[in-house]
Amino acid sequence: MLDESKPLFIAVAEQIEDGILDGTYPEDTPVPSTNELAAFLRINPATAGKGLNRLADAGVLVKRRGVGMFVTVGAAELLRRRRRDDFARAYIVPLLREAAHLGIDPENSPR
Amino acid sequence: MTAIETRNLTKHFRDVAAIDDVSLSFAEGRVHGLLGRNGAGKTTLMKLLTGQIFATSGEMRVLGQSPLENPQVLAQTCFIQESQKYPDGFRPLDVLRIAEGLYPAWDQELARELIADFRLPEKRAIKKLSRGQLSAVGIILGLASRAPLTFFDEPYLGLDAVARRLFFDHLLADFADHPRTVILSTHHIDEVSNLLEHVVLLDEGRVAISEEAETLQNAAIEVSGRRDEVMAFTAGADVLHLQEIGSLATSTLHAEPGSVERARAAGLQVAPVSLQNYIVHRTTAAAAAPVA
């Protein structure tokens, strides 16, 4: 369920980010608590908490004392902007590399 | 805060050093994995820390004090032994009743819930329980005692997959609600790796690794591809394992910053190395080292 190739807390953070981007967690609504995430993902609560804190540090989530973590207003746009920057590195570069392996010329893409 | 601290702890059985100059520290409120092959000294270390046997030399502090004959420390410690013996004629019911009086933080409601979940026949003589059911008795004791310091020595023995999952989920849920220090010794590393925060690997009585689980989970990578390209990439690197087949090779090596990117740029496939595989590589590599 989690991306094993990354540190666990980053995979947790990215999963919450995905939820924000696809509308599972609308802005100004709460995300699951540390313990809920830990039980659901079967990971240590400290790791789950680290993932949530990473998002709080990035301004994607905001802590409300005694209530939990909420999605910041504008979080989806913030994430979209950041992920667009990563898009080329994560998807386009490997795509071009594989194309080169296969002898596909990007200028004359196959049908 | 530190739950356990040992300095140069050593235990000899005749001329064998079961625990050899072990200096370790276990932080409070975390889940620690105590790993190692059979005979590595895991059980001996836990017996020393719970005052069941005496050290040959060295020092230890458990919850800030010496555990030896120390009721204050021992009342806060729960040690679930792999080969726990119970008095003749005892039933799980009797064990749990006694445990209730032994552990100040005992939770009877949790114990009842666990008995139901594990489908433990509480009125059957312990002698007649299966190995898995015997393990379940220990697990129920370990969880319901809510001891600030809990040792589980191979709690999985004989448990089926459903029961192992039950243990994992209950431990996680109860640890989340009632944080405490847990030391978990098991060979089922893959099943618990996401639960561990800190890992100690013992090898022939010595500390081979004492490290954050997260660091270990990213400590090594596996690169594969054409043999010459793999060799070129791994030249000078700290290689843990190499496997070759025909013109292909797969190499497990210690990751350095940027290793993944460089391997991909060199046209190699990169895969993460699980904690279990890393531990296996580190153990066999250590065992092979004196010969090489």
Q: How high is the pLDDT of residue A1?
A: 58
- To the nearest whole Å, the CA of A74 is away from the closest chain B CA by 31
The number of beta carbons lying within 10 Å of the beta carbon of residue B250 is 18
Residue of B nearest to A8 (CA): B214
Candidate from B176, B197, B264 with C-beta closest to A39: B176
Cα–Cα nearest to A37, from A73, A2, A65, A67: A2
Residues on B contacting A at a C-beta cutoff of 8 Å:
30-31, 168-169, 172-173, 175-177, 194-197, 214, 217-218, 264, 267, 270-272, 274
Q: What are the counts of helices (DSSP H) followed by strands (DSSP E) for chain B? A: 11, 13
- In whole angstroms, give the CA distance from residue A17 to residue A61: 10
- In whole angstroms, give the CA distance from residue B243 to residue B271: 14
User: Which of B214, B222, B273 to mutate: most A Cβ within 10 Å?
Assistant: B214
Question: Distance between alpha carbon B60 and the CA centroid of its chain, in Å?
Answer: 19
Q: Which helix (H) or strand (E) holds B133?
A: helix B131-144
Residue A35 lies in a domain: yes
- To the nearest whole Å, the CA of A79 is away from the closest chain B CA by 23
- To the nearest whole Å, the CA of B222 is away from the closest chain A CA by 11
Chain B residues with CB under 8 Å of A9 CB are 214
For domain B2-215, the question of CATH label 3.30.1330.10 is answered with no
Chain A residues with CB under 8 Å of B219 CB are none
Kindly list the distances between the CA atom of residue A81 and the CA atoms of A13, A55, A60, B49, in Å, as whole numbers in the listed order. Answer: 16, 15, 12, 53
Chain B residues with CB under 8 Å of A34 CB are 176
**Count of domains in chain A?**
1
Q: How high is the pLDDT of residue A111?
A: 54
Cα–Cα nearest to B51, from B92, B9, B85, B86: B9
Whether B173 and A7 lie within 8 Å, measured CB to CB: no
Residue A21 sits in which domain range? 8-108
Specify whether the CB–CB gap between B111 and B102 falls below 8 A: no
- To the nearest whole Å, the CA of B100 is away from the closest chain A CA by 27
CATH number at residue A38: 1.10.10.10
Kindly list the distances between the CA atom of residue A44 and the CA atoms of B3, B127, B235, in Å, as whole numbers in the listed order. Answer: 19, 35, 37
Whether B217 and A7 lie within 8 Å, measured CB to CB: yes
Residue A3 lies in a domain: no
Candidate from B194, B270, B272 with C-beta closest to A44: B194
Please report, in angstroms and rounded to a whole number, the separation of the first and last CA atoms in chain A.
33
- Reported as a single tens digit per residue, the pLDDT across A10-46 is 999 999 999 999 999 999 999 999 999 999 999 999 9
Whether B196 and A34 lie within 8 Å, measured CB to CB: no
Q: Tell me whether residue B20 is exposed, middle or buried, using C-beta atoms within 10 angstroms of its C-beta: 0 to 12, 13 to 18, 19 or more.
A: buried
Specify whether the CB–CB gap between B186 and B154 falls below 8 A: yes
Q: Name the architecture of domain B220-272.
A: 2-Layer Sandwich (3.30)
Pairing of strands B220-226, B206-212: unpaired
- In whole angstroms, give the CA distance from residue B223 to residue A90: 19
Report DSSP letters for B5-57, one per residue.
Answer: EEEEEEEEETTEEEEEEEEEEEETTSEEEEEE-TTSSHHHHHHHHTTSS--SE
Q: How high is the pLDDT of residue B286?
A: 57
What is the residue-level pLDDT of chain B in tens, covering all 292 positions? 899 999 999 999 999 999 999 999 999 999 999 999 999 999 999 999 999 999 999 999 999 999 999 999 999 999 999 888 899 899 999 999 999 999 999 999 999 999 999 999 999 999 999 999 999 999 999 999 999 999 999 998 899 999 999 999 999 999 999 999 999 999 989 889 999 999 999 999 999 999 999 999 889 999 999 999 999 999 988 899 999 999 999 999 999 888 888 998 888 999 999 999 999 988 876 555 544 3
- In whole angstroms, give the CA distance from residue B145 to residue B180: 11
- In whole angstroms, give the CA distance from residue B154 to residue B148: 19
Candidate from B30, B173, B214 with C-beta closest to A7: B214
Contacts of B67 (CB under 8 A, 6+ apart): B49, B50, B51, B60, B73, B74, B77
Whether B274 and A34 lie within 8 Å, measured CB to CB: no
Please report, in angstroms and rounded to a whole number, the separation of the first and last CA atoms in chain B.
41
Domain with CATH 3.30.70 in chain B: 220-272
Domain with CATH 3.40.50.300 in chain B: 2-215
Q: How high is the pLDDT of residue B289?
A: 52
- To the nearest whole Å, the CA of A38 is away from the closest chain B CA by 8
Q: How high is the pLDDT of residue B288?
A: 57
Whether A4 and B169 lie within 8 Å, measured CB to CB: no
Q: Which helix (H) or strand (E) holds B149?
A: strand B149-153
Whether B172 and A47 lie within 8 Å, measured CB to CB: no
Chain B residues with CB under 8 Å of A3 CB are none
- 3-state SS, residue B221: strand
- In whole angstroms, give the CA distance from residue B195 to residue B215: 14
- In whole angstroms, give the CA distance from residue B221 to residue B277: 10
Lookup result for tokens 């797969």: B250
Residue of B nearest to A38 (CA): B172
Q: Could you tell me if the ipTM is greater than 0.90?
A: no
Whether B214 and A47 lie within 8 Å, measured CB to CB: yes
For chain A, how many residues are written? 111
Tell me how many degrees the CA angle A62-A66-A70 measures, rounded to the nearest 5: 25
Report DSSP letters for B73-130, one per residue.
Answer: HHTTEEEE-TT----TT--HHHHHHHHHHH-TT--HHHHHHHHHHHT--TTS-GGGS-
Is it the case that residue A109 has pLDDT exceeding 90?
no
Residue of A nearest to B197 (CA): A44
